[in-house]
Amino acid sequence: MSQQSVGSRPGGLSSLVDTPVVDADTHLSEWYDLWTSRAPASLKDRVPQVRKINDRYEWFIDGQLLNREGASSAVRKDGSKAYGMDFKALQLADVHAGAYDVNSRVVFMDEQGVAAQIAYPNLLGFGGQKSMQLEPEVRNASVQIFNDAMAELQADSGNRIYPMAMMPWWDVDLSAKEAERCAAMGLRGVNMNSDPHEHGLPNLGSPHYAPLWEVCVDKGLPVNFHIGASDDSMTWFGRGLWPGHPDGVKLAYGSLMLFVGNMRVMSNIILSGFLDRHPDLKIVSVESGVGWIPFVLEGLEYQMQEAAMKYERTPQEVFQQQIYACSWFERKSLLQTIRSIGADNVMFETDFPHPTCLYPGAADYVRETAEEMTPDERRKIFGGTAAKLYRLDLSTWHSKQH
């Protein structure tokens, strides 16, 4: 054991640090009546819902079958983990209740030594991109219903689970109003499609989105870009895969290429300069890992100089002042990375209960790396940075644990 006193507290991840642990990226498996139980009668048959087909429950949106694995969880009901493509066969009844039930989730968090979780959706896409399969009236209602359900879940969790609000990104004025509405309900951030230009809209660097960014700054809402948050970036198999690979190889390749998608998004955000127009806006790269960031920031600065670009701040300065990223699987290079880009900009996640999640044994997985960090680095990465960014009050949980 190092002299940095890792292990001073019992209980899973909480044994790594003397402050509350915040898991900065988890997912909620949408329960079957999430939308239908809240939809007006005129839309009840059109909002996302399940129907039983050949002894399986399948999701439909506006009467059309949605090609999506049923439970979006790789953690089974008995606590074992499904590896490879086995998770696609799991239905909601087959998976850990913590994937969809708030009370079970909180119990699981206590067992894992986690004070709070940031949570993201599954069904309509990590950036809500599948909403475009719905007619405007249905997709607008579906987003609002989802956000209402998430605000209820946050309250029911005792402010332990913090879902990020889904945005009606196809309409910037609606998005600004929805962000304001969600902030009033207590939600602490927004989840954004990374490539709205794929649907004929301006790209995110355009002044077109200023009304949304202004609300986010005013209400203290970070803008989160989860990997796979658009039609272009969301694919399990990815472009460029050599033909003939089995499904397991496709899953490994596609999961890795999703990280590359966020490298593209973050590079475009920095190059567009729109963060200079909104210097108080906070951006988060979710589930992308962090090891690529020093390389990209150095490469961007070099190429911007070669291209004779004029810029107010270096990419490194933009990142350190306004951008955050989440890490979970990285161990060998993590310490070097955080000392390059700053512990103030890196957050820890587990991705529970997805196929790549740090389960089981998250604490054991990261313990050796955590031991090499300073106490200050550990406090920031395993909870302090996320608590500050998302404005979390974890004092009650902290007092209870002591």
Give pLDDT tens digits for 72-123: 999 999 999 999 989 989 999 999 999 999 999 999 999 999 999 999 999 9
Query: Which long-range contacts does 146-154 make (Cβ < 8 Å, 24+ apart)?
Result: 146/34, 146/35, 146/121, 147/178, 147/181, 147/182, 147/185, 147/187, 148/38, 148/185, 149/34, 149/38, 150/28, 150/119, 150/187, 151/182, 151/185, 151/186, 151/187, 153/28, 153/102, 154/186, 154/187
What confidence tens digit (pLDDT) does each residue in 311-355 have? 989 999 999 999 999 999 999 999 999 999 999 999 999 999 999
Q: pLDDT-derived band of residue 258, with 50, 70 and 90 as boundaries?
A: confident
pTM: predicted TM-score of the whole model, two decimal places: 0.93
Average pLDDT, the chain: 92
CA–CA separation, 369 and 356 (whole Å): 19
d(CA 382, CA 242): 38
Cα dihedral value 350, 354, 355, 356, nearest 10: -30
Residue 256: per-residue pLDDT: 86
Mean pLDDT lowest among 216-230, 240-254, 261-275: 240-254
* CA dist 119 → 36, 150, 155, 402 (Å): 21, 9, 14, 26
d(CA 387, CA 297): 25
Average pLDDT over residues 235-253: 81
Contact 192, 120 (CB under 8 A): no
Question: Positive or negative, the Cα torsion across 37, 43, 48, 53?
Answer: positive
Split at pLDDT 50, 70, 90, the class of 193 is very high
Give CATH for domain 12-401: 3.20.20.140
pLDDT at position 38 is 97
Number of separate helices (H) and strands (E) present in the chain: 13, 12
Confidence of residue 237 (pLDDT cuts 50, 70, 90): low
Phi, psi (5° rounding) for residue 225?
-115, 100
What per-residue confidence (pLDDT) applies to 85?
Answer: 87
Return the DSSP state at 373: S
Buried b / exposed e across 208-242, counting CB within 10 Å, b at 16+? ebeebbebbeebebbbbbbbbbbbbbbebebeeee
Compute the distance between CA of residue 389 and CA of residue 348 in angstroms, rounded to an integer: 13
387, 398 contact by CB (below 8 A): no
In order of 65, 169, 264, 339, 353, the CA distances from 28 in angstroms are 21, 21, 26, 32, 8
CA-based nearest residue to 282, from 213, 199, 377, 355: 213
d(CA 344, CA 338) in angstroms, rounded, equals 9
Instruction: Calculate mean pLDDT across residues 246-265.
Output: 88
Answer whether the bond into residue 246 is a cis peptide, omega within 30°: no
> Average pLDDT for residues 41-50, to the nearest whole number?
96
Could you tell me which of 226, 262, 233, 20 has the C-alpha nearest to residue 119?
A: 226
Give residue limits of the domains in the chain. 12-401
- Both structure tokens of 44: 């009840």
Kindly tell me the burial class for residue 65, based on how many C-beta atoms sit within 10 Å of its own C-beta (0-12, 13-18, 19 or more). exposed
The whole-number pLDDT of residue 236 equals 54
The answer to whether 391 and 188 have CB atoms below 8 angstroms apart is yes
E-assigned strand segments in 73-212: 116-120, 161-163, 165-166, 190-191
Using alpha carbons, select from 93, 94, 123, 96 the residue that is nearest to residue 112: 96
Q: What is the mean pLDDT of residues 392-398?
A: 79
Q: Do residues 359 and 353 touch, judged by C-beta distance below 8 A?
A: yes
The identity of residue 296, as a single letter, is V
258 vs 315, residue with greater confidence: 315
Dihedral sign for Cα 298, 304, 306, 310, please: negative
- Tens-place pLDDT, residues 141-173: 999 999 999 999 999 999 999 999 999 999 999
Apex CA 159: angle with CA 154 and CA 160, to 5°?
95
Reported as type and span, the H/E element at residue 218 is helix 210-219
- Which one-letter amino acid corresponds to residue 204? L
Q: Pick the closest to residue 107 from 147, 149, 158 (CA basis).
A: 158
pLDDT at 162: 98
